[in-house]
């Protein structure tokens, strides 16, 4: 049993010494791996951050372009509105000039040969009271259609 125990102790010591030798030998390599991993992580974070910043700048540029395009469209609509409102003002002025009583009177006098009446007269018109009743049918008198209207005007 001592022999077996001594072999275990020797093996343990040997293993421990080889582990320290291995760790001392590879201590620099482990740090290189950690340093390179850290550099890769830092580089990856930098590249991702740069990509995010570039995408944000592109997105803001697209929004700015869209806003400028909408502002141009709004300006053209405002110009159209202003043009139509100016045209409306001109048309209203022309209409009021055409509808003015003095304008109508002068047109009738010059173009139609209207003359100023010195004395105005009224003509009395007599209607037969029987023909003016509502609901009375002219068919009873034997006249129909436009002839009945003519007969009513003539007083028959």
Distant-in-sequence, close-in-space partners of 131: CB < 8 Å, separation ≥ 6: 138, 152
* Full-model pTM: 0.40
In the chain, the N- to C-terminal Cα span, in Å, equals 159
Q: What is the structure's pLDDT at 130? A: 62
Q: DSSP character for 140?
A: G
Contact 103, 96 (CB under 8 A): no
Q: What is the structure's pLDDT at 26? A: 52
Residues lower than pLDDT 70 in the chain: 1-33, 128-156
Q: What is the structure's pLDDT at 59? A: 97
Q: What is the structure's pLDDT at 154? A: 67
User: In angstroms, what CA-CA distances link 142 with 24, 113, 128, 132, 156?
Assistant: 139, 44, 17, 17, 11
Contact 152, 131 (CB under 8 A): yes
User: In angstroms, what CA-CA distances link 94 with 86, 91, 112?
Assistant: 13, 5, 21
Return d(Cα 19, Cα 26) in angstroms, integer: 10
Q: What is the structure's pLDDT at 124? A: 81
Coil, strand, or helix at residue 6? helix
**Average pLDDT score over the chain:** 76
């Amino acid at each position: 049993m001592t022999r077996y125990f001594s072999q275990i102790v020797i093996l343990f010591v040997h293993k421990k010494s080889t582990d320290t030798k291995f760790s001392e030998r590879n201590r620099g390599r482990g740090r290189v791996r950690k340093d390179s991993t850290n550099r890769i992580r830092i580089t990856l974070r930098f590249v991702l951050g740069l990509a995010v910043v570039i995408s944000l700048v592109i997105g803001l540029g697209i929004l700015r372009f869209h806003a400028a395009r909408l502002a141009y469209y709004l300006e053209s609509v405002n110009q159209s509105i202003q043009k139509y409102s100016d045209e409306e003002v001109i048309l209203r002025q022309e209409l009021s000039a055409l509808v003015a009583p003095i304008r109508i009177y002068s047109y009738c006098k010059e173009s139609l040969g209207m003359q100023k009446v010195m004395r105005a007269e009224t003509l009395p018109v007599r209607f037969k009271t029987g023909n003016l009743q509502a609901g009375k049918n002219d068919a009873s008198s034997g006249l129909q259609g436009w002839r009945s209207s003519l007969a009513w005007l003539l007083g028959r």
